[in-house]
Chain A
């Protein structure tokens, strides 16, 4: 009896101030690095994830209630847009850069093509308020959501507060976006010993490791850095320079992940290339010289036809149909 009492009082002591729900969905292979976003002050929970998912799919985030995050970040395209170079905002206005894919965000240090946003939680503030995208005032969004009793209940459940603030809205979205982990491609199955590459994929993988891996580092297939990959001699969009104002950043953009690249066409910051073969041709023989060009691209790769086919075969092993079909991620 005494023991039971001690046990009870100790458990009351341990659990009364902080309830931590068992983490679910945040799992990744052991060859992945430590995440950059660790849900600090925003512990992962199912209630928060489901709330974030509802917000992600809610068109009330836009000024005319026509566009949600999912409009331009669709699960079937690995949370990039539906094959368009530039995305339409409210009233059909076109944005200036290609919609990036949203997955493996907890490993990203910078957001947007120019890396101007430094934190996953405040990333949604940009598309919500951009006149070319959702064109909405954040206070209006809060007003709309606060008049919905279902939301108030969900916020109460998830954060212990039924008053919806921008901080809680961003945190719920960060929990949902943070859970969009892509780690179940054929490449991953190969890494785990559960699949074998074809000989073409294997040759493509070797070519990739020789030529591409210094920027598109495994296993995330990006390096959290910026590069000028030789698209133009004269820049129409100065990219990273617009954030840093350093001359050496002119024409540099964030190195995107190659995971799910088969699904996230068209390619580059302005969506100028429609197909993977156009992209490979660019690196093979289309590099344009400029002062900030990445030094490893100064000599064209000059891939043979077979090598191009092999590289494409390898890039297709990075497609993750678990991400694109996972029921928990859809509306």
Chain B
């Protein structure tokens, strides 16, 4: 029995070590990256703000936005060896009314040199068909259709005299088939992104809500979209096309 003491202790210690559920991270090998969004209006990049009268430079519509929010998800970074690092549980709701939501935090990125990134506008099909979700994907965010399952991926609401009701509400979504508006974009970095635990770099992005009505669209075509379909696809594709990478800071 006496000579059993040591192996017993070792075995117990080993099993506790092996079974502890929490992953131990070596923080020295990881850094944090941020991605920030600024919002502008029209091709001259005038400032965009809620509760402000704005004139659309192409169709002349007068618009006053009360809400503008959209999902950005599945952020990936490409290392200089060609491999991709994928952020786990990477879902963000960018809400112009909440300053904190405009900067996305990408934690625990392995240190190294990165040459490109990928991001998805919208919420992937899987999360639209997998039941109750949490965090940015919670139904408490008002970005989920109760009667026709799926995420509202872009929500723009406000008033406009060009709408027959005086109001507009564009709830854009669609995750399957021809009506899917889930869009993944790969962008090369102009200067490499160097991730280290000592500094936090920010990937600067710009969104332009005026782009919803690019190429002939107007509130006067109807101020309401409440489900997936061809018009939702047109508006979302227009908007996503205007999301621009500005540089690393």
Query: Chain A residues in contact with chain B, CB under 8 A?
Result: 1-2, 5-6, 9-10, 12-13, 16-17, 41-42, 112, 116-122, 125-126, 128-130, 138-139, 142, 165-168, 170-171, 174, 242-243, 245
- Say whether chain A's binding surface is mostly helix, strand, loop, or mixed: helix
Q: Closest Cβ of chain A: how far from B134's Cβ, in Å?
A: 4
Residues of B within 8 A of A125 (CB): 139, 144, 146
Q: A5-B4, A9-B12, A165-B138 are in contact. List 5 more A-B contacts (CB 8 A).
A: A9-B11, A118-B149, A120-B131, A121-B131, A243-B148
The reply to whether B131 and A122 contact each other, CB–CB distance below 8 Å, is yes
Given A121-B131, A167-B133, CB of A130 within 8 Å of CB of B146? yes
The reply to whether A139 and B140 contact each other, CB–CB distance below 8 Å, is yes
8 contacts between A and B (CB under 8 A): A5-B11, A116-B147, A118-B129, A138-B139, A165-B134, A166-B138, A171-B131, A174-B132
Residues of B within 8 A of A9 (CB): 11-12, 14-15
Q: How far is the CA of A165 from the CA of B128 in the complex (A)?
A: 18
CB-based A-B contact count at 8 angstroms = 85
Interface string of B140-158 (1 = CB under 8 A from A): 1000101111000000000
Nearest 9 Cβ contacts at the A-B interface: A121-B131, A170-B132, A16-B19, A121-B132, A119-B131, A118-B149, A167-B132, A9-B15, A116-B148
Q: How far is the CA of A166 from the CA of B18 in the complex (A)?
A: 33
Residue of B nearest to A243 (CB): B148
Q: How far is the CA of A166 from the CA of B140 in the complex (A)?
A: 7
Q: How many B residues are at the interface, by size bracket?
A: 20 to 34
Q: How far is the CA of A129 from the CA of B141 in the complex (A)?
A: 13
Q: How far is the CA of A1 from the CA of B134 in the complex (A)?
A: 47
The reply to whether B15 and A13 contact each other, CB–CB distance below 8 Å, is yes
Q: How far is the CA of A174 from the CA of B130 in the complex (A)?
A: 13
* Residue in A13, A138, A171, A242 whose beta carbon sits within 8 Å of that of B18 in the complex: A13
Residues of A within 8 A of B134 (CB): 165, 167
Q: Residue B8 at the A interface, CB < 8 A?
A: yes
